[in-house]
Each structure stands twice: as C-alpha cells, then as structure tokens.
C-alpha cells in the first residue's frame, strides 16, 4: 500500500490504475494489476478523468 500511494503522489495524483501499475513495474516493484486496483480502491485513490462532457438528452426550446 505505501508503494502504491507513493507512486500516485509522485505523479501529481493523476495516474490511474494502469499507469500506477506500469510505473511500479518500471521501479521493479512486482504486483498484479488487480492487486494495485484493489489497493487504490481501498486507499480512495483515483486517476484524473479527462474527456468530453456526456450529454444524455437535449432540451428543446419552444419558439
């Protein structure tokens, strides 16, 4: 758990599970991806979500 949090903090708290897992492997800290996912969920850590705003419906303006 301390390794997961340290990697996440070192990368400005924007890394998600995949990037934290890959960075840990680069630093020769071997862990399964599902383990990293579980630990991040337990610690309450999430990566930044980027993308378009999802619109589910359109409001129609009457003339």
Dist. CA 29–CA 5, nearest whole Å: 13
Predicted pLDDT at 35: 94
- Neighbour tally for 17: CB within 10 Å: 20
pTM: 0.74
Q: For 3-61, how does the pLDDT look when each residue is reduced to its tens digit (9 = 90+)?
A: 999 999 999 889 999 999 999 999 999 999 999 999 999 999 998 877 877 777 766 66
Given a cut of 60, whether residue 63 has pLDDT beyond it is: no
Boundaries of every domain in the chain: 1-63
The burial class, CB within 10 Å (0-12 / 13-18 / 19+), for 29 is: middle
Predicted pLDDT at 6: 93
């Amino acid at each position: 758990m301390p390794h997961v949090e340290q990697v996440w903090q070192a990368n400005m708290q924007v890394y998600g599970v995949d990037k934290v897992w890959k960075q840990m492997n680069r630093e020769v800290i071997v862990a399964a991806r599902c383990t990293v996912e579980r630990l991040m969920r337990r610690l309450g850590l999430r990566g930044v979500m980027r993308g378009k705003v999802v619109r589910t419906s359109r409001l129609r303006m009457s003339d």
